[in-house]
Chains A and B, each alone.
Chain A
Amino acid sequence: MESSIGSELIVTLAWRSAEVAGFGAALLLLTSLIVRRYFEYKARLHARVIAAWRPLLTRIAIEAGDAPALPPLQGRYLPYVMEEWCALHDAVRGESSSRLNAIALAPLGLDVAARRMIHSRRVGRRILAIRTLGFLRDPSSWKPLQEQLGAANALVSFYAAAALVQIDAQRAMPGIMNQLAERESWPGEAMARLLVDAGAEVAREPIRALMLSLAPSKVPPLLPWLAHVDAVLGNEVAIELLRRHPDNAGIVAAALVVVLDPAVLPELARFAESTDADVRQSLAVAYGRLGGLADVKTVTRLMCDRVWWVRYRAGQALLKLKGMTAERLEAVRAHLTDAYARDMLEHVRAEAAIR
């Protein structure tokens, strides 16, 4: 029977679509199978590297004396050996690190390979190359690593910073501080660890200069992390920032968490009137850390706050105030007229009792 629609074109198109899609599906299945084989092959390679190279590299790292003879390193094994070498480097220091570096250069040629790999379009490869060059601590790698410091990818840039610190922390500081000022994508805690690795004595002054010159909007996310690098420096910078920017809620909230000097508490009490809940919450935290019985009045006022978190932190602070005893706490409770504050006191006491 002939089609009575009179539109053979659409039917032809339907058949062609079916053929193309069917062929496409078969091709995709084939590709999937090939991809699966390829990954299986890579997994086997990896397993072979671990079996052959891990014991050798570990022996080199832990045993002083002549390095064992190394088998020739085939190109296809190189990234895996490099991974193993970096993983071991993560775990060792001093002599072991130097021994690993010695075999990386001449017999293995990891330095040459890493310098080539640093330009790879694959992020994983680039990071592996950067880590290798960092562990090698070779000043001649400075330029390519500095180029990577400005990379758009935050991880690449971060690893480049870490590598530069490994080579020469002092020299790396200006570039790292520039990056801290410009980018917001570096993970704060990891960045703090990096600066700790660089050494507080090296990082201290650049951090102080950076924090006091940064645009106010960039200070709050950085301040708590930088205080991790050097708590005393964090305290000094925080007090300075509180005096310079008393009306910037973001800076005040961040600085209050970092302040360590109880002497400044009277100066801080005015922030209990802040319209920003984060500021009041941070103030409550500061009282918990630094406050004494003289601060009971301010803390109990914060316990009547309309924001739960402020009440909660103030409740915790009340329990932590220096000189606070169960009897004094009972006396405070007896004078609390605000139902929310009383509830919160019950809450934090129950919580403390469970802990």
Chain B
Amino acid sequence: MILRHFITVVQWGFLGYFIVLNAIYLTLAFIAMFGLRRYMGGISAAERVYSHLQMPVSLVVPAYNEAATIATSIRALLQLRYQHFEVIIVNDGSKDDTLATMIREFELTPFPEAYRVQIKTKPVRGIYRSLKYPNLRVIDKENGGGKADATNAGINAARYPIFYCGDADSILDPHSLEHVVRPFLEDPRTVACGGTVRIINGCKVRGGVLEEVGLPRNPLALVQVVEYLRAFLGGRLGWSSINGMLIVSGAFGVFHRDTVVEAGGFRADVIGEDMEMTVRLHRTLAARGQRYRVAFIPDPVCWTDAPEDVATLAKQRKRWQRGLAESLWENRKLCFARGSGAAGWLAYPFFVLFELLSPVIEVGGLVVMAIAFGLGMMTGANFLAFLAAAFALGLMLSTTSLLLEELSFHTYPKTRHLLVLFVVSILENFGYRQVMSIWRLQALYGWLTGARIRWGEMKRKATWQQ
């Protein structure tokens, strides 16, 4: 009898959870839709007015063992269509020829820079300046502390009021800086701005510049296209409209330098330093009573390589989940904090309930219902009803993102692309999402038990590179 009651409660909880989760996401998508409409309506006029306004930007790009690709990545950065920017590559003690390659390709010369340590990092071994490109510098530091420590070293060397931090293997849209500085120009309270990150697998890239947009053939990468659309166009745009965005992606983020320095820089002891920094900015600025804005621009500004094999994808997702847990835990004072607005009162509780704990609920619910089905306490048809509800709600959400994409940038040029993405939105429900939940659950367990996690090597195929 008790078991039956328990199963009933689980069923209600499972269904209720999915309905509420998707209702919130749909609400965010609708908020995003209005925001997007407003944004697209004024975009050409804004470009005309702001095209001459180019706030100087420091591009901070950590590199570790990237001898094979670093020259192309730097050339792509130097080709950005922007008047006033500097590129700071931080060689994080690479064991390969990353530094030698840069010295050779860009005529680097040791430079007696009066380097200021505003954020503590591993020791800097040397600073180089390019004789070919006056706006290119390289910081050579000892390895340790990961991307966060390397980024902090770059921030120490950065000259300009805002800095971009990203990955050396990401491809930036040539106009990305023009787009991303606009929130800082429009609203001086802006302390951080993220942009839409897209999957580059399946696209054609030449010399570090995106030439043709396409869809990947690899099924794992294909599903990630839908995931990224859902996450960026639906979720983040919606949250940013109410200043509740808790993640500025590590692949593409622009921050106000002094604010980040005051906050202590990126933390090297957490896995998801990008999210941790964003949540910390919310927490510290709200606690100080400072008015601020964490912005997001829907323009596809950055293209990144998606893992195409199961092992790499599993590592990535476990790291993301662990990073999420750490970021939320380390900044728990943000939750319902006075003056924290949508970030503390809506986004934080939402992230705890529907992002952090979602694998527990999803896997737990499925397991309990499978047991109930096995014990004959639930019919196959009923079990199917719950699965159908969960799948269909998820599908509706994915399709909303496709609509948002069509209403805005229609990046994928062919109608076939749209139909393929819709089919993938259906198919991802059959196995992919469940496996994701299991990996995330494992990561959560690892975090709770204090198991160590390593970044590990990311296997990138980069078949798009020509």
Contact = CB atoms under 8 A, between A and B. Distances in A.
Q: Which of A35, A128, A193 has the most CB of B within 10 A?
A: A35
A90 B453 CA distance: 58
A127 B415 contact: no
B12 A344 contact: no
Interface in A318-355: 340, 343-344, 346-347, 350-351, 354-355
Interface residues of B, number: 65
Interface in A101-159: 122-125, 127-128, 153-155, 158-159
Contact of A5 (B11, B41, B187): B11
Given A14-B15, A35-B406, A346 B112 contact: yes
B19 A17 contact: yes
Contact of B112 (A2, A14, A128, A350): A350
Contacts of B112: 343, 346-347, 350
A28 B114 contact: no
A18 to B, nearest CB: 4
Given A127-B45, A187-B185, A36 B111 contact: no
Nearest to A312: B114
A201 interface: no
Nearest to A37: B415
A39 B410 contact: yes
A24 interface: yes
A77 interface: no
Given A21-B22, A32-B403, A32-B406, A123 B389 contact: no
B151 to A, nearest CB: 18
Contacts of A311: 114
User: Main SS of chain B's interface residues?
Assistant: helix
Contact of A122 (B41, B378, B379, B389): B41
Nearest to A303: B114
A188 B8 CA distance: 62
Contacts of A128: 45
B401 to A, nearest CB: 9
A29 B399 contact: yes
A8 B405 CA distance: 39
A24 B15 contact: no
B418 A32 contact: yes
B57 to A, nearest CB: 16
Contact of A17 (B15, B52, B403, B415): B15
B458 interface: no
B316 to A, nearest CB: 27
A15 interface: yes
A18 B389 contact: yes
A158 B49 contact: yes
Contacts of B50: 187, 190
A35 B407 contact: yes
B24 interface: no
Contacts of B372: 5
B53 A190 contact: yes
Nearest to A122: B41
B44 A14 contact: no
B336 interface: no
Contacts, number: 167
A347 B129 contact: no
Contacts of B53: 187-190
Interface string B126-140: 000101001000000
Contacts of A123: 38, 41-42, 45
B393 A21 contact: yes
Interface in B5-51: 7-8, 11-12, 15, 18-19, 22, 38, 40-46, 49-50
A355 B134 contact: yes
B422 interface: yes
Contact of B395 (A22, A33, A155, A308): A22
Contacts of A125: 41
A31 interface: yes
B393 A10 contact: no
Contacts of A340: 114
B100 interface: no
B78 to A, nearest CB: 16
Given A3-B382, A32-B406, A24 B4 contact: no
Contact of B378 (A4, A185, A350): A4
A337 B393 CA distance: 71
A1 B379 contact: yes
A11 interface: yes
B113 interface: yes
B353 interface: no
A45 interface: no
A35 B380 CA distance: 39
A21 B389 contact: yes
A25 B381 CA distance: 22
B396 interface: yes
B392 interface: yes
B95 interface: no
B41 A25 contact: no
A74 interface: no
Contacts of A188: 53
Contacts of A1: 376, 379-380
B396 A21 contact: yes
Contact of A24 (B52, B388, B396): B396
A25 B42 contact: no
Interface string B329-356: 0000000000000000000000000000
A4 B389 CA distance: 20
A190 to B, nearest CB: 5
Contact of B406 (A5, A36, A189, A343): A36
A215 interface: no
B20 to A, nearest CB: 11
B268 to A, nearest CB: 22
Nearest to A2: B379
A343 B116 CA distance: 11
B385 A7 contact: no
Contacts of B45: 123-124, 127-128, 155, 159
B400 interface: yes
* Top 5 closest pairs, chain A to chain B, by CB: A21-B392, A18-B388, A28-B399, A14-B385, A308-B116
11 contacts: A1-B379, A5-B378, A29-B422, A32-B402, A32-B403, A124-B43, A190-B49, A190-B50, A308-B118, A346-B114, A350-B111
Interface of A: 1-7, 10-11, 13-15, 17-22, 24-25, 28-29, 31-33, 35-36, 39, 122-125, 127-128, 153-155, 158-159, 184-185, 187-190, 193, 308, 311-312, 315, 340, 343-344, 346-347, 350-351, 354-355
Interface of B: 4, 7-8, 11-12, 15, 18-19, 22, 38, 40-46, 49-50, 52-53, 109, 111-114, 116, 118, 129, 131, 134, 185-188, 372, 376-382, 385-386, 388-389, 391-393, 395-396, 398-400, 402-403, 405-407, 410, 415, 418, 422, 425
Given A11-B381, A28-B403, A187-B185, 17 more contacts: A1-B379, A2-B379, A3-B379, A5-B11, A10-B11, A11-B385, A14-B388, A15-B388, A17-B15, A18-B392, A155-B45, A158-B49, A185-B186, A190-B50, A315-B114, A346-B112, A351-B129
